[in-house]
Chain A
Amino acid sequence: MSIIFSFIFIICVIFSCVFLSPNIVLESITNSAKGAIENICIIASMLIFWSGIFNIMSNTKLLSKISKKLYSVFSFLFKKDEVSDKAKEYISLNLASNIMGVGNAATVNSLNGIEELQKSNKDKKKLNKSMATFILLNTSSLQIIPTSMISLRVLYGSQNPSAIIIPVIIVSVISLSVALISLNLIWRFYE
């Protein structure tokens, strides 16, 4: 991440000093800093709300049982001995909210889930395979119906706004599979 961050930063500053005006750098940083504060306010407000709701949920017996059942659908992706019961609950909630497209709820559970996985991780400085798989599941789009994209297409006068649904599912499945397969291939060198 450090390489990506410094690379983009350096290239942009050099580019704007050489080809554009040097003022753009500070202008842009000022604007994005303001935007970042606005962003975090929006993210934080929903994060706090969903954390509250999920805390009630994980304390009710029936619902935590149901989410553990739900986990069995996804269990083939993870290694048994690396996932605790609490982690199973968060993983299934995370994947379910991702599939339904409730982004904020998914974020809360992705963070709780990775924390639980870390607790049963042997080497705290390294990811284990279940953690890497869980992160990759979150970096790919699991949402079945891309509602916000469809409404954006409607807004800009598309003749057939929902024509993207099937292509999107195909692309998501292929890209997720490739990501997971490449994880399995590279894993040996990581360990």
Chain B
Amino acid sequence: MSNYLVPIFILVVLILGVLERKNVYNLFIEGAIQGIKTAYNIFPYVFAITIISGLLKDTKILSNISLFGMDGNLLPLIIMKPLSGGASASIIVDIFKNFGTDTFIGMVASILMASTETTLYVISIMASRIKLKDTKIVIICGLIGDLTAAIVAVIISKLITG
């Protein structure tokens, strides 16, 4: 069902555009030009974040830390997820291969990955659009949210897997 949503949405936009006698092609081009500008502007931010999350991954620095007796495999995920979707996906795959999907660690990882976003990445891209330097307050609140997600995910997974 949800597979149809996107094609239908595109269809409705195009048909209404034609019905209201708009120049659909020109509007699309206009929008696309805006899109190119957007992509150009966010590129350095995407680049910077990819570099530091790559370093975090390749030096394997995170798997050497074990904080509060937490499993060494979950901490990298909790730290990586706010930075990069790609790098955290590769951590998830490692966890699934080594521990399975339905174990305690597998559950925490699945829930955490699906219930949080790439917080720092999103903030830096949105702030780049309005050339805002002072992002402290949203970074703090966003990371508080991510930390809460980690704690709740651990509790719920404990309850489910017993």
* Residue A73 CB within 8 A of the other chain: no
The answer to whether B145 touches A167 (Cβ under 8 A) is: no
Q: In the complex, which residue of chain A has the Cβ closest to the Cβ of B95? A: A156
| Chain B residues with CB below 8 A from A127, complex form | 132, 134-135, 137-138
**Which of A27, A43, A110, A152 has a CB less than 8 Å from the CB of B58?**
A27
Interface residues on B, range: 35 or more
**Which of B29, B89, B129, B148 has a CB less than 8 Å from the CB of A175?**
B148
The answer to whether B59 touches A24 (Cβ under 8 A) is: yes
| Chain A residues with CB below 8 A from B31, complex form | 51-56
Q: In the complex, which residue of chain B has the Cβ closest to the Cβ of A190? A: B137
User: What is the minimal beta-carbon distance from B93 to any residue of chain A, in angstroms?
Assistant: 8
* Residue B86 CB within 8 A of the other chain: yes
User: What is the minimal beta-carbon distance from A58 to any residue of chain B, in angstroms?
Assistant: 9
The answer to whether B102 touches A174 (Cβ under 8 A) is: no
Given contacts A20-B59, A55-B28, contact A132 B117 (CB under 8 A): no
The answer to whether A139 touches B142 (Cβ under 8 A) is: yes
**Which of A61, A141, A160, A179 has a CB less than 8 Å from the CB of B144?**
A179
**Which of A50, A146, A180 has a CB less than 8 Å from the CB of B114?**
A146
* Residue A77 CB within 8 A of the other chain: no
* Residue B70 CB within 8 A of the other chain: no
User: What is the minimal beta-carbon distance from A129 to any residue of chain B, in angstroms?
Assistant: 10
* Residues of A144-191 whose CB lies within 8 A of B: 145-147, 149, 152-153, 156-161, 163-164, 167-172, 174-176, 178-180, 182-183, 186-187, 190
* Residue B5 CB within 8 A of the other chain: yes
**Which of A48, A135, A159, A175 has a CB less than 8 Å from the CB of B115?**
A175
How far, in angstroms, from A183 to B52 measured CA to CA in the complex? 27
**Which of A57, A175, A179 has a CB less than 8 Å from the CB of B152?**
A175
| Chain B residues with CB below 8 A from A27, complex form | 58
Given contacts A158-B101, A182-B144, contact A175 B52 (CB under 8 A): no
User: What is the minimal beta-carbon distance from B87 to any residue of chain A, in angstroms?
Assistant: 9
**Which of B48, B126, B140 has a CB less than 8 Å from the CB of A138?**
B126
**Which of A29, A111, A179 has a CB less than 8 Å from the CB of B125?**
A111
How far, in angstroms, from A54 to B27 measured CA to CA in the complex? 9
* Residue A76 CB within 8 A of the other chain: no
User: What is the minimal beta-carbon distance from B89 to any residue of chain A, in angstroms?
Assistant: 8
The answer to whether B47 touches A135 (Cβ under 8 A) is: no
Mask: chain B, 93-132; 1 = CB below 8 Å from A; 0 = not: 1001100111000110011111111111011111101101
The answer to whether B32 touches A36 (Cβ under 8 A) is: no
| Chain B residues with CB below 8 A from A110, complex form | 122, 126
| Chain B residues with CB below 8 A from A40, complex form | 39, 42-43, 46-47
* Residue B92 CB within 8 A of the other chain: yes
How far, in angstroms, from A24 to B59 measured CA to CA in the complex? 7
* Residues of B133-154 whose CB lies within 8 A of A: 133-135, 137-142, 144-146, 148-149, 152-153
Complex A-B, nearest 3 residue pairs according to Cβ-Cβ distance, in ascending order: A55-B31, A32-B54, A51-B35
